[in-house]
Amino acid sequence: MSRFLFVAPPLAGHVYAAGAVAGVLARRGHEVAWAGPESALRRMLGDGVTVFSTGMRPYRGQRDRGLRAARSLWEGFVLPYARFTLPAVEKAIAEFAPDVVAVDQHALAGAVAAHRHGVRWASLAPQSMELTRPFRSLPEVERWIERRIANAGLSIGDGADPRFSPHLVLAFTSPALTGPYDFPAHYALVGPALGDRATAPDFPWDALDPARRSVLVTMGTLAEDVARDFFPRMVGALRMLEGRVQAVVAAPPTAVPDPPPGTVVLPQVPVLELMPRLSAVVCHAGLNTVCEALAHGVPLVVAPIKHDQPVTAAQVVAAGAGVRVRFGRSGAGELAAALAAVLDEPGYAAAAGRVRDSFAAAGGAPAAASHLELLAPRP
């Protein structure tokens, strides 16, 4: 049996994927611990996990979009978070003595600390940005990120990039979604890691109308403020389709004015439990939500806001599994047409089904756990 330390930022899409893998390892009898902000990790993982608390930093610049959001992600979160948490992560490694450290690509302290302590480590890629080089057409942006990492003192060893383990990079997607890309041999694309959620929110299941198609609208945990301008247009689209579509909207009710009758608006919904009953998902193209939908063969309308979301949205369109709309500008008519298309044209659901099959073949959390087991030194 081995010891595995997971280092993750306090962001739902990151923690849920890593948590599913950690759960498999624990059930196989391994010792698993986490290094991260304790209260945020416990909220997502439950009280049963071992946490070496690092504290956390607020994320400045959440409202930014486009390349300004790329700059604020690195300057306002990833780099200060790595520097702030590094001493605590080093202490966690010294105390827990893991055989393998599993490091989220946006929790760089884990890579630096593992390298310093001579522990083998893997990169976890729960988002699309640090995987297929989406900025390769903007080489100065790629160089800017590399320079900022180096200037922050976060290079490892011979100047290697802490986003990319030389031993193992685990990505929670599959080539059916990324498209053809020449991944190095130590990259494993295992598909989404969908474990049991520690706490699934309550849901009024009786409110779902079997005579109408069910559609989930969710714009992500980071987007609540910016999405306030999107929901009124989305409500307009739902009104146009209200005879045959019933929406479940994951948002505070105050953000969704005058939805058509029967619309369920809740701040939290049990997304995985809902998926088998859905005909389409409208979302911000966060990789987590996209993969949860595609793992169930549910086609998508994607309205990317920032970060890796435009990359993932383009992948969904290229796979044929959805329609892309403009988060900031698409009006009710455009949104209704996009939703009607993925509901009515069977090609979208068929393509989503092909991605679902590729995910199933990729193995998910158990496959990711097996890759991590192989990294552990033999006794």
Partner 1 sequence: MDILRELTGLLRDATGEDERWAEAVTPQSRLEDDLRLESVELAALGEALRARYGVDLPAYLAGLDLDELIDLTVGDLARLVTP
CA distance 81 to 109: 8
d(CA 350, CA 370): 30
Alpha-carbon Rg of the chain, whole angstroms? Answer: 20
Verify binding: residue 230, partner 1, rule CB under 8 A: no
138 binding partner 1? (CB under 8 A): yes
Closest distance of CB 136 from partner 1, Å: 9
Q: Which strands form 187-189's sheet, in the order they lie side by side? A: 50-53, 31-36, 3-7, 100-104, 120-125, 169-171, 187-189
66 scored as a contact of partner 1 (CB under 8 A): yes
Among 68, 95, 318, 347, interactor with partner 1 by CB under 8 A:
68
Sole binder of partner 1 in the list 42, 65, 167, 277 (CB under 8 A):
65
Among 1, 67, 97, 350, binds partner 1 (CB under 8 A): 67
CB of 348 to partner 1, least distance (A): 18
State how far the Cα of 298 lies from the Cα of 276, in Å rounded to an integer. 8
Residue 346 touching partner 1 (CB under 8 A): no
* 140 near partner 1 (CB under 8 A): yes
Cβ atoms within 10 Å of 240's Cβ, excluding its own? 16
* Window of 120-128, 322-330, 339-347, 349-357 that interacts with partner 1 by CB under 8 A: 322-330
* Residue 304 beta carbon to partner 1: minimum distance, rounded to whole angstroms: 8
The residue (of 87 and 331) whose beta carbon lies closer to partner 1 is 331
Give the separation between CA 217 and CA 119, rounded to whole angstroms. Answer: 42
Neighbours of 361 (CB within 10 A): 12
Q: Three-state SS for 104? A: strand
- Interaction between residue 326 and partner 1 (CB under 8 A): yes
| Using rule CB under 8 A, residue 60 touches partner 1 | no
CB of 325 to partner 1, least distance (A): 9
Contact indicator for 192, 298 with CB cutoff of 8 Å: no
Residues 349-378 interacting with partner 1 (rule: CB under 8 A):
none
Q: How far apart are CA 22 and CA 102, in angstroms?
A: 9
Task: CB nearer to partner 1: give 36 or 310.
Answer: 310
Does 228 help bind partner 1 (rule: CB under 8 A)? Answer: no
In angstroms, how far is the first alpha carbon of the chain from the final one?
A: 9
Where do contacts with partner 1 occur on this chain (CB under 8 A)? 65-68, 70-71, 137-141, 144, 304, 310, 324, 326-329
